[in-house]
Amino acid sequence: MSSSRLLEELIEALRCLPGVGGKTAQRMAHHLLERNRDGGRRLAQRLSEAMDGIGNCAQCRNFSDTKVCALCSNASRDAAVVCVVEMPADQFAIEQATGFRGLYFVLLGRLSPLDGLGPHELGLDLLATRLADGHVRELIIATNPTVEGEATAHYLAQLARQHGVRPSRLAHGVPLGGELEYIDRGTLAHAFGARMDIPDESP
């Protein structure tokens, strides 16, 4: 037990970060207090500003501090090709590893009824509206190759076909069970370039 209530609360707050347990949080707190108080103040200010100022783009649902993000408002991007990803980190990975010049749609999850994530929570009504306006000709489905990701991909492919849009899927150079943000750039670039159409399996 610490002699300082504030220190205990700081350590507990740091544990909200992924992969940070009690010992790591304690080391972080002690480092900031012992060696970098200015850095700690800067971190606190930026965290506060980000939590209050960052929302979601009205078009693609990615993180943005404006109503429409810079990528969606970029007139040089090809609005006829939309790539659907699960998380903002996946969109960032594709931007870094490929020459993709279309637009994105970020689900902020994947279909998972047990976790309460259905089509509404993933913003698929917004995506359907976007597909219905007639400007999109290809929907690239870049969900992760997990069980939930594959189920989400199947749902998205059906949604695309309902609106006369061609669905395609990343080629399986991406390993089954992998997460896009952890895949090396070469593998991701190859998989993106070799994407394939999804066959229509409806009766």
Rounded to an integer, what distance in angstroms lies between the CA atom of residue 151 and that of residue 159? 13
Question: For the segment 110-121, what is each residue's pLDDT rounded down to a tens digit?
Answer: 999 888 899 999
DSSP E strands in 97-191: the ranges are: 102-106, 138-141, 166-169
Q: Does the global pTM surpass 0.85?
A: no
The per-residue pLDDT for 59 is 95
Domains, in order of start, for the chain = 5-53 (1.10.8.420), 63-197 (3.40.1360.10)
Nearest-CA neighbor of 79 among 61, 100, 65?
100
Nearest-CA neighbor of 136 among 184, 84, 87?
84
Confidence category of residue 203, pLDDT binned at 50, 70, 90: low
Residue for token pair 């969606």: 72
Question: For the segment 145-161, what is each residue's pLDDT rounded down to a tens digit?
Answer: 888 998 999 999 999 99
Nearest-CA neighbor of 171 among 142, 151, 137, 200?
142
The per-residue pLDDT for 197 is 81
DSSP state of 17: S
